[in-house]
Structure 1
Amino acid sequence: MAGNTADPGRSVTSRILAIIGAFDGAHRRLTLTELAERAGLARPTAHRLVGELTEWGALHRNEDGTYVVGRRLWDVGLLAPVASDLRSVAVPFLHDIYGATLATVHLAVREDDHVLYLETLRGSRSVPIVSSVGSRLPFHSTGVGKVLLAHAPDDVRHRVLSAPLQRFTRYTITSPQRLARQLTRVLEDGYATTGEEMTPGACSVGVPITTSGGVVGALGIVVADLRRSRGRLVAALEVAAQGVARGLG
């Protein structure tokens, strides 16, 4: 939690950043009181700044009075070179995979200790999906997440494996030792899979996008069953990932 209300030296900028920083994966919807508390601001100050942020589009006020991150912040975030270049190069390949499979396909990157979804093309088949453009999900329960975690710096892997692993379904891996073994296997095989670990009825496979500078993202696909199609889907994703890497130069 940044700062406190008794700090006379806090700038307006620091207070605005504290409000935006109050949101995280566990706090996607916040009331005005919660925003003030998490940002370390007096409620009248938070009310004024939240109003300005909402008017600009950085925040959005729901009908129940809670606030969420606004679309405009996402639009600005896409202007970052890594996100914009990767997304623009990858989207045609995502459409190719979607056209061939009619399944949901993802483009994701690592953002701190979570997976950030830069693009999602939703399939026409009835497979339950929780991810969407701009959403952030845990590493351990998604195919793209396992790929990104396997290639993440040691300190990131250590933090994730040291923290409690949230259970989403009865198939979610919550054992750090088992997850660590899977990550080793991901590095050996070149891809990661999940079996109903985030959502019942949804399986996924993910592969890394690797450039000369290392892994910059991951491509993934979600289907109802991987038992017969895993090899075909992995091959399609790997070809697409290689094409994206070439496009990035």
Structure 2
Amino acid sequence: MTTSPSGAPERSVVDRTLSILGAFDRDNRTLTLTDISRRSGLPVATVHRIVNKLTGWGALERCSDGLYSIGLRLWETAVLAPRSSSLAEAAQPYLVELHRQTSLGATIAIRDGAESVCLSIMSNQTDLAELYGHPGGRLPLHASSVGLVLLAHAGASVRSAICAGPLPAYTPATITDGTALGRTLVRIRREGHALVRNTLTEGRGGLAVPVRDGRGAVVAAVGAVGHVDLVQPVRLLPHVRAAAEAIARSVRSCGWRDVEVGT
């Protein structure tokens, strides 16, 4: 690694490029060069040079007003990711059916490090999609039913690291104590599902179960989410489990295999 004149380590071109792409998120879809510089922590001149390269390749697009946004070329590349595209495609008809059967939002998520990533959600309630995530939306694992399922079946090192905290509170019902979280994860593995009420927002809850690949490894979680009064295990479990099993059969028939995800 090279150093700057000040003696501080310089970030590699790859690191700087990733920082620029990481400056964009759901709440910051279009940015000026100055915005990108501020959010990435890079000098404007550096941002200008790399942004020009990214725009030329199609990873970024320059709007008529001079603002920049994520480009179609990057999207075309991203949808090739097998963990998202294959699962989302396999899950879609079963999420539609789960939504029809329960009148609740139906969602599927995978784990990426310490977060759950929403692959798809079927709901006629806008607030549910905003709360639990549009495709690509992320949430801490301890805050939702799908996240808790994914965490319960993650490796021991992942579970230990997350239980060690910090565990941010969204409501008074959010689990913020590592010991309590550990006990909850044991119960989820034993019972085969996660049930939460009011942990992400007041008045909302969810029930989720794992989706397993051909080796029995948990590769995703399927859940039903909605008003707490409607999140009743006796009513929901048969439907959610049936959806998870159908998705699992579909991905196994395609020869889909999971990949390791980081801590």
The alignment's TM-score, normalised by the length of structure 2, stands at 0.77
Cα 1:141/1:49, change in 2 over 3 Å: same
Q: Residue in 2 aligned with 1:149?
A: 151
Instruction: Classify the secondary structure of the residue corresponding to 1:41.
Output: coil
Counting aligned pairs with the same residue, the percent is: 33
Contact 1:109 1:117 in 2 (8 A): yes
Stretches of structure 1 that go unaligned for 5 or more consecutive residues are none
Q: Residue in 2 aligned with 1:99?
A: 100
Q: Residue in 2 aligned with 1:210?
A: 212
Q: What displacement does 1:242 show?
A: 0.7
Q: Residue in 2 aligned with 1:238?
A: 241
1:136 to 2:138 alignment: yes
Cα 1:176/1:30, change in 2 over 3 Å: farther
Instruction: Classify the secondary structure of the residue corresponding to 1:20.
Output: helix
Contact 2:198 2:205 in 1 (8 A): yes
Instruction: Classify the secondary structure of the residue corresponding to 1:186.
Output: helix
Stretches of structure 2 that go unaligned for 5 or more consecutive residues are 253-263
Cα 1:189/1:23, change in 2 over 3 Å: farther
Q: Residue in 2 aligned with 1:166?
A: 168
Q: What displacement does 1:14 show?
A: 4.5
Q: Residue in 2 aligned with 1:191?
A: 193
Contact 1:50 1:59 in 2 (8 A): no
Q: Residue in 2 aligned with 1:175?
A: 177
Cα 1:205/1:34, change in 2 over 3 Å: same
Q: Residue in 2 aligned with 1:122?
A: 123
1:84 to 2:85 alignment: yes
Instruction: Classify the secondary structure of the residue corresponding to 1:119.
Output: strand
The alignment's TM-score, normalised by the length of structure 1, stands at 0.81
Instruction: Classify the secondary structure of the residue corresponding to 2:208.
Output: strand
Distance 2:124 2:117 in 1: 19
Distance 1:5 1:37 in 2: 19
Distance 2:153 2:221 in 1: 10
1:16 to 2:28 alignment: no
Contact 1:193 1:204 in 2 (8 A): yes
Q: What displacement does 1:73 show?
A: 4.3
Structure 1 residue aligned with 2:227, among 214, 224, 228?
Answer: 224
Structure 2 residue aligned with 1:201, among 200, 203, 214?
Answer: 203
Contact 2:20 2:40 in 1 (8 A): yes
| More displaced 10-residue stretch of structure 1: 124-133 or 165-174 | 124-133
Contact 1:128 1:201 in 2 (8 A): no
Contact 2:115 2:141 in 1 (8 A): yes
Distance 2:173 2:29 in 1: 25
Instruction: Classify the secondary structure of the residue corresponding to 1:92.
Output: helix
Cα 1:90/1:60, change in 2 over 3 Å: farther
Distance 1:162 1:71 in 2: 39
Contact 2:51 2:60 in 1 (8 A): no
Distance 2:155 2:194 in 1: 17
Distance 1:154 1:216 in 2: 16
Q: What displacement does 1:78 show?
A: 2.7
Contact 1:148 1:208 in 2 (8 A): yes
